Amino acid sequence: MAEGLLNGLLGDRYEAYSVGTEKTAVNQYAIEVMRKMGIDISNHRSKAVEEFKGRTFDFVVTVCDIACENCPFFPGKKVIHKSFPDPSGVTGSATEILSTFEKSRDEIRAWMEDEFLLDF
């Protein structure tokens, strides 16, 4: 969701890449909550860290503790860590799960606004 938010809202200024410590499928609930705000991430794919080894980035951002602990070094001008709960582990009704994903999306967006002093 973070990649979709940054590219969807600020793609003219930034190019974000979401990289995981392990390959997974893009969660359908994430696709749905992003679509609700007009951002299509249905064509996104899980990318492994190995795809980006040797690249340099202006920012390296981790959004969960596991990623922070297991992320290899990527040269960057600024390394930022912010932990968000992973909504993919939530159980319950479809409505409850969707609500959890919406909350995560909104928390990530609010943090981006504060961290990067942006006004979407």
Range of the domain at 52: 2-112
- In a domain? residue 117: no
Burial of 33 (0-12, 13-18, 19+ CB in 10 A): buried
Q: Which of 3-12, 14-23, 46-55, 71-80 has the lowest mean pLDDT?
A: 71-80
Q: How confident is the model at residue 119 (pLDDT cuts 50, 70, 90)?
A: low
- In a domain? residue 120: no
Q: How confident is the model at residue 3 (pLDDT cuts 50, 70, 90)?
A: very high
The mean pLDDT of the chain is: 85
Report the pLDDT value the prediction gives residue 66, as an integer from 0 to 100. Answer: 64
Domain harbouring 80, CATH code: 3.40.50.2300
- In a domain? residue 56: yes
Ramachandran sector of residue 70 (left: φ over 0; alpha: ψ -120 to 50; beta: rest): alpha
pTM: 0.83
- In a domain? residue 118: no
- In a domain? residue 20: yes
- Higher pLDDT among residues 44 and 21, named by residue: 44
Number of domains in the chain: 1
Reply yes or no on whether the pLDDT at 104 is more than 70.
yes
pLDDT digits (tens, 9 = 90+) for 33-74: 999 999 999 999 888 878 888 888 888 887 776 665 666 666
Query: Rounded to an integer, what distance in angstroms lies between the CA atom of residue 30 and that of residue 27?
Result: 5
Residues 6+ apart with CB under 8 A from 91: 97
Asked if residue 68 lies in contact with residue 83, where contact means CB atoms within 8 angstroms, the answer is: yes
